[in-house]
Amino acid sequence: MVSRLFWLYYTNATYNKPNKIKMEMDAELKNSILKTGTSLVSLVCKDGIVMASDRQVTGGRSLVVDKDFQKTNLVNEYLVISWAGMVSGAQRLTKVIAAELKLKELRSKSRPTVKRAANLVAALAYSLIRQPSMMPDVVNTFIGGFNEDGSCELYSIGADGSLIHVKDYAADGSGMVYILGLLERQYKKNMTVEDGVKLAVEAIKSSTQRDVFSGHGIDVFAITKDGIKKVIDQEILPEYKDKK
């Protein structure tokens, strides 16, 4: 994920500067958006859904801002969300979603479905990215959960508001290329949540070994008809050994 620190540097550095410098900064900004410093993975299993992420937050391309930032979180008792993008935008989006879903539940006296929640996220993303702003909220999102009938669903929402119903697996962030290669070979259509957790951990470990923008920890959530449980909470620590 990307810190506001980079955005503040970008906006301050571009005022009253030659157009060439601003163009270079614009190019850098676009690259940072497209290459979000994050590793997210979500898997659809026969008995539920697994969602996992790393913990590193970066400021631009050369600074680690936070080593212990959880990117996969509970929205409420039946939904989990994962983010890739601007930290502040992701935090704001999660709070708005939780509040809007609670209002819908109170008004209709029934719990919104996972699909309805995903459509809400997509609508918010669509409107936010199209509002003129010096520092726009650019966030890619995975949202997974279980419905009242026990069925589990997973959706991928782009920063532009696009919505995809994920039926197998999905990855996002700068570590995506390393994760997808692993999942292409090792994901099984009817795998259990237990096996999915193991594969998700391997996927995050693989990305943190090669992607310089990901690392420092792993969080994994398992979603089943019985509820949501955080099953992995690990910290990645550097270790120095004498070379023999």
Query: What confidence tier does 168 reach under pLDDT thresholds 50, 70, 90?
Result: very high
Q: How far apart are CA 140 and CA 176, in angstroms?
A: 12
Q: How far apart are CA 46 and CA 40, in angstroms?
A: 20
C-alpha angle 10/13/17, rounded to 5°?
Answer: 130
Q: How far apart are CA 206 and CA 200, in angstroms?
A: 10
Q: Which stretches does DSSP call E strand in 55-157?
A: 57-59, 63-66, 72-76, 79-85, 139-146, 152-157
Query: What confidence tier does 60 reach under pLDDT thresholds 50, 70, 90?
Result: low
Active-site residue, selected from the candidate residues 38, 94, 141, 208: 38
The CATH architecture one would assign to domain 4-10+36-235 is 4-Layer Sandwich (3.60)
| Prediction pTM value | 0.81
64 strand-pairing partners = 58
| Structural domain boundaries in the chain | 4-10+36-235
Task: Give the number of other Cβ atoms within 10 Å of residue 76's Cβ.
Answer: 17
pLDDT in tens, 7-39: 444 444 444 445 665 555 455 444 444 445 788
C-alpha angle 205/206/211, rounded to 5°?
Answer: 100
Query: Strands of 163-166's sheet, edge to edge?
Result: 72-76, 79-85, 139-146, 152-157, 163-166
pLDDT in tens, 174-190: 889 999 999 999 999 89
Across the chain, mean pLDDT equals 83
Contacts 24+ apart (CB under 8 A), 6-11: 6/32, 6/58, 6/59, 6/60, 7/86, 7/135, 9/59, 9/60, 11/134, 11/135
pLDDT for 133 = 60
Q: How far apart are CA 99 and CA 86, in angstroms?
A: 20
pLDDT for 237 = 80
Mean pLDDT of 145-167: 93
* 38 belongs to the catalytic site: yes
71 neighbors 219 (Cβ within 8 angstroms): yes
Q: How far apart are CA 3 and CA 190, in angstroms?
A: 38
